Homo-oligomer: A and B are copies of this chain.
Amino acid sequence: MAEGGAGPGGGESLLFLTDEQLRKGIEAMFFAYRGFTADPDRILESKEYGRAHHRALHFIHRSPGTTVNNLLSILGVTKQSLNRVLRTLIEDGLVESRVGRKDKRERHLFLTTTGDALERELSEAQRGRMRAAYRAAGPQAVAGFRQVLEAMMEPEMRRQYQTLRDAGL
């Protein structure tokens, strides 16, 4: 690995914080993110959808009944941008939009059977790669991976993430 070696005295070295190590981490994020999205992207390009549709399907699957506003804050895009994606998913019968009972202005989003099938196909492809990477690296590495990623998030997104992480699901 070329790490280790420490300095003169050894012990609690801060060599992992050098600009050089940070640059390697930056490139690792860049290349890994490409791998991360590669499999779903391949599936999507055959169908008439893109990565934006995948993201919507993922988060509706994760939180069935979520409102459009919730989705907006998680995805961090404008409502116009999300609406374009959502409209095609609803038209194509992958997502169902139900008017809220308590607040009828809100729309609650659910996956249909068809939508669930596509979501599963996409997420199984993505999990496949993830599983291989996890298995290759081992549980301790995975724990470190999650720690660093969590520390890298914007505080607001970290809250979104942790809410789900800490809940039953």
Whether B137 and A22, one on each chain, are in contact in the complex, defined by CB atoms closer than 8 angstroms, is no
Whether A148 and B142, one on each chain, are in contact in the complex, defined by CB atoms closer than 8 angstroms, is yes
Determine which of B13, B137, B139, B146 lies in contact with A28 in the assembled complex, contact meaning CB atoms within 8 Å. B146
Residues in B neighbouring A34, C-beta threshold 8 A: 76, 153-154, 157
Residues in B neighbouring A123, C-beta threshold 8 A: 23, 26
Majority secondary structure, A binding face: helix
Whether A29 and B24, one on each chain, are in contact in the complex, defined by CB atoms closer than 8 angstroms, is no
Residues in B neighbouring A126, C-beta threshold 8 A: 26
Residues in B neighbouring A157, C-beta threshold 8 A: 31, 34-35
Q: How many copies does the complex hold?
A: 2
Whether A166 and B2, one on each chain, are in contact in the complex, defined by CB atoms closer than 8 angstroms, is yes
Residues in B neighbouring A147, C-beta threshold 8 A: 136-138, 141, 144-145
For residues 138 through 169 of chain A, which have their beta carbon under 8 Å from a beta carbon of chain B? 138-154, 157-158, 160-161, 164-166, 169
19 examples of A-B residue contacts, CB within 8 angstroms: A21-B142, A22-B134, A25-B134, A26-B36, A28-B150, A29-B32, A31-B153, A31-B158, A31-B160, A32-B152, A33-B33, A36-B152, A133-B148, A134-B151, A136-B151, A141-B143, A144-B145, A145-B148, A145-B149
Chain A contacts to B: CB under 8 angstroms? 1-3, 13, 16-17, 19-36, 38, 55, 58, 62, 76, 123, 126-127, 129-154, 157-158, 160-161, 164-166, 169
